[in-house]
Chains A and B, each alone.
Chain A
Amino acid sequence: MPELADFLQYSFSGLTSGAIYALIALGFCVVNNTMGIVNFVQVDFVSLGGMLMFSALFALGLPMVPGVLLAVAGVALVAMLVERFGLRPARSENPLVLIFLTVGLSIILRGLIKLVWGKNRMALPPLTPDLPLEFFGASLLPQALWILFLTLIAIVLLLWFFYRTPLGLSMRAVASNSTAAAVVGIPAGRVRLTSYAIAGALGGLAGVLVTPITTLNYDVGVLLGLKGFAAAILGGFGSFPGAILGGVGLGLLESLSAGYLSSAYKDVVAFVVLLLVLFVRPKGLLGK
């Protein structure tokens, strides 16, 4: 049954890229919920994750697991620095100023990545050796399974953080009503810093996981980040289940249309969907 095998193959690759979009979309949502802005730096967190992983493996010679942890923690740290020294000194509540600031910081960070790691394309090895598994005639890479598994772990950790820890609860308080949260004494600075750290960690993880499949380049995150944003809008901007649903939905749509229609315009699908959603149901699939 070649049709079934084809369909399964497209669905697997759609699920894999969908998981990546979901991770990035969650990063956008976390910052949007606490600060009310679109964080353009998210895009570069993805590239930076891959780059740090590359250095951890080849410059420091670390094994896979510490390498992943180091890369994700490194991006989270950079994200915190971006918030603390890039956004907070502006002392502005004007969203226009803050969004343009993230655009500027994103340009600087991209320049920095270009300067440190160069402009060449690099290859990152997958987490475990590439021995494709057969599944009803479709082949499945171990890296794809890792992506799905680690995305699930990340989502479970996020849920635990937002529902079981004091800091997570206070972040949800800020998201639901920032004035009331300030009145009861929730420190705004710490919440913002944490939301950037989470966004950085999610973006970094996405970068670590996806670059063995794509290639590693200083601006690999731009396109992935934009699609992650489209996924967030598709699901309803700010909603966490929406971000996951939007990411997976977008990934599937993209790989099925590339498989059955045309692969030349594969990257266009995400933005056509974005415009259509804004047209038909602007609050997204699960938006309030």
Chain B
Amino acid sequence: MTDRQKFLYFIALHRTGLWVTALSLLLLVFPLVENNPYTLGLTNLIAIHAIVVLGLNLFIGYAGQISLGHAAFFGLGAYGSAIACVTFGLDSWLAMLLVAGLVALVALLVGIPALRLTGHYLAMATLGLNFVFHTILLQWDQMTGGPSGFYGIPSLSLGSFAFDDELRLHYLLWGLALLSLLLCLNLVRSGVGRGLSALAGDEIAAAALGVDTRRAKVKVFVLSAVLASVAGSLFAHTYGFISPDSFGIFVSTDLVIMVVIGGMGSIWGSLFGAALITLLPEWMDLFETYKDFVHGGILVLVLMFLPQGLITGLLDLLRVQLARLRQKNVTA
């Protein structure tokens, strides 16, 4: 092997790690270039959404199932942290862990019966769960603050160092988002992840090869719910105020749109989907009036023409075109 070949081989071998390193470096220096608090607030929101979407994408893309209730897990995390910290005076990090455990239990309770069936019962079961959760938020007002929301949630802090401005939050939130990214990237390359990929390809074939498909689906569902819950806790501590509107069933469909645009089963695509849908309202005036058309339209067009997702689909198209061009050059 020449040095050049060795170098290229090294790059090809470590491409995932290199991409993650490159992204981390980019995010490390980002606040030096862009220190407008408003912009940082937006990218922080992307980080929070990215954590939810990464988990949801594992579930949709790898377990081949639909959840239309992830806003409920997100909201459980947020309200759980808020109530544990403010009402019961628990430490915020401890509260985050406890709530995540609780959400895992809820996901297990919903997931086990619904995933026992083939077909897409879980879609409706989770949608129902989300609806129940939203109603409880509105009705149980002495605990949740009802429709007017929950105020005064403290910022997260390490000792006396409080994550209370956009810059500090940038490092905290993106640090955790990158951690989730690494977790997902490693998971799909592990034995469990290979089993999941097989499951996504063909459930019967995967079962024949010894993948316990039901158990695998439930595991991923719980993992995705826990990620959503952690993101919810971060959301509550970041904004200090939460209201039921942020956790309704239409938020769940927005999360699903993020997954589909990024590409079902594409880990990197999740980041892109979360970023695009979070930034969309910023780029368009009159967005509120036409929000449904834009969101629905994007979802329908992507599914119809690029079912692998926007980025993956466009890359595939490009690859096909390049291959065709090469073919032409060879024959010519």
Interface residues of A (CB under 8 A from B): 37-38, 86, 89-90, 92, 94-97, 99-101, 103-108, 110-112, 114-115, 222-223, 226, 229-230, 233, 237, 264-265, 267-268, 270-272, 274-275, 278-279, 282
With A96-B66, A107-B292, A270-B128 as given contacts, are A278 and B264 in contact (CB-CB < 8 Å)?
no
Main secondary structure of the interface of B (DSSP, over half): helix
Tell me the minimal C-beta distance from B67 to chain A in angstroms: 12
Whether a CB of chain A sits under 8 angstroms from the CB of B168 is: no
Residue of B110, B292, B303 touching A100 (CB-CB under 8 A): B303
Contact yes or no, A226 B127, CB < 8 A: yes
Residue of A94, A107, A279 touching B296 (CB-CB under 8 A): A107
8 tightest A-B CB contacts, nearest first: A111-B292, A107-B296, A271-B128, A104-B299, A108-B296, A104-B300, A279-B113, A278-B113
Contact yes or no, B131 A267, CB < 8 A: yes
Residues of A with C-beta under 8 A to B121: 233, 237, 278, 282
Which B residue's beta carbon lies closest to that of A107? B296
- Complex CA gap A116/B132 in Å reads 30
- Complex CA gap A264/B256 in Å reads 30
Whether a CB of chain A sits under 8 angstroms from the CB of B9 is: no
Contact yes or no, A96 B60, CB < 8 A: yes
Contact yes or no, B128 A274, CB < 8 A: yes
Q: From A38, A100, A115, A222, name the one whose CB has the most chain B CB atoms within 10 angstroms.
A: A100
Which B residue's beta carbon lies closest to that of A274? B128
Contact yes or no, A275 B110, CB < 8 A: yes
Which B residue's beta carbon lies closest to that of A222? B249
Whether a CB of chain A sits under 8 angstroms from the CB of B260 is: yes
Contact yes or no, A108 B125, CB < 8 A: no
Counting chain B residues whose Cβ lies within 8 A of the other chain, the interface size class is: 35 or more
Residue of A99, A267, A278 touching B117 (CB-CB under 8 A): A278
Whether a CB of chain A sits under 8 angstroms from the CB of B317 is: no
Whether a CB of chain A sits under 8 angstroms from the CB of B293 is: yes
Residues of A with C-beta under 8 A to B114: 275, 278
Which B residue's beta carbon lies closest to that of A266? B135
Q: How many residue pairs at the A-B interface have CB separations less than 8 Å?
A: 115
Contact yes or no, B299 A97, CB < 8 A: no
Which B residue's beta carbon lies closest to that of A111? B292
Contact yes or no, B123 A230, CB < 8 A: no
Contact yes or no, B296 A105, CB < 8 A: yes
Contact yes or no, A96 B135, CB < 8 A: no
- Complex CA gap A143/B119 in Å reads 37
Whether a CB of chain A sits under 8 angstroms from the CB of B17 is: no
Main secondary structure of the interface of A (DSSP, over half): helix
With A108-B293, A275-B113 as given contacts, are A99 and B300 in contact (CB-CB < 8 Å)?
no
Tell me the minimal C-beta distance from A229 to chain B in angstroms: 5
Interface residues of B (CB under 8 A from A): 60, 64, 66, 68, 110, 113-114, 116-117, 119-121, 123-125, 127-129, 131-132, 135-136, 139, 249, 253, 256-257, 260, 264, 289-293, 295-297, 299-300, 303-304, 307
Residue of A111, A226, A267 touching B293 (CB-CB under 8 A): A111
Residues of A with C-beta under 8 A to B129: 271, 275
Tell me the minimal C-beta distance from A97 to chain B in angstroms: 5
Contact yes or no, A99 B66, CB < 8 A: yes
Tell me the minimal C-beta distance from B205 to chain A in angstroms: 16
Contact yes or no, B66 A282, CB < 8 A: no
With A108-B297, A111-B293, A274-B128 as given contacts, are A99 and B120 in contact (CB-CB < 8 Å)?
yes
Contact yes or no, A274 B125, CB < 8 A: yes
- Complex CA gap A265/B139 in Å reads 8
Residue of B113, B120, B125, B296 touching A111 (CB-CB under 8 A): B296
Residues of A with C-beta under 8 A to B303: 90, 92, 97, 100-101, 104
Contact yes or no, A275 B128, CB < 8 A: yes
With A105-B296, A278-B113 as given contacts, are A230 and B64 in contact (CB-CB < 8 Å)?
no
Contact yes or no, B66 A271, CB < 8 A: no
Contact yes or no, B128 A95, CB < 8 A: no
- Complex CA gap A223/B249 in Å reads 11
Contact yes or no, B128 A100, CB < 8 A: no
- Complex CA gap A270/B135 in Å reads 12
- Complex CA gap A110/B260 in Å reads 20
Contact yes or no, A100 B139, CB < 8 A: no
Tell me the minimal C-beta distance from A77 to chain B in angstroms: 19
With A38-B123, A268-B135 as given contacts, are A90 and B253 in contact (CB-CB < 8 Å)?
no
Residues of A with C-beta under 8 A to B128: 226, 230, 270-271, 274-275
Residues of A with C-beta under 8 A to B253: 103, 107
Contact yes or no, A101 B135, CB < 8 A: no
Mind listing 17 A-B residue pairs with CB under 8 Å? A37-B120, A90-B304, A92-B307, A96-B264, A100-B299, A101-B299, A103-B68, A104-B299, A105-B300, A107-B292, A222-B249, A237-B119, A237-B121, A274-B128, A275-B114, A275-B125, A279-B113
- Complex CA gap A37/B110 in Å reads 21
Tell me the minimal C-beta distance from B293 to chain A in angstroms: 5
Residues of A with C-beta under 8 A to B113: 275, 278-279, 282
- Complex CA gap A95/B139 in Å reads 36
Contact yes or no, B124 A95, CB < 8 A: no
Contact yes or no, B304 A89, CB < 8 A: yes
Residue of A107, A115, A265 touching B135 (CB-CB under 8 A): A265
Which A residue's beta carbon lies closest to that of B60? A96
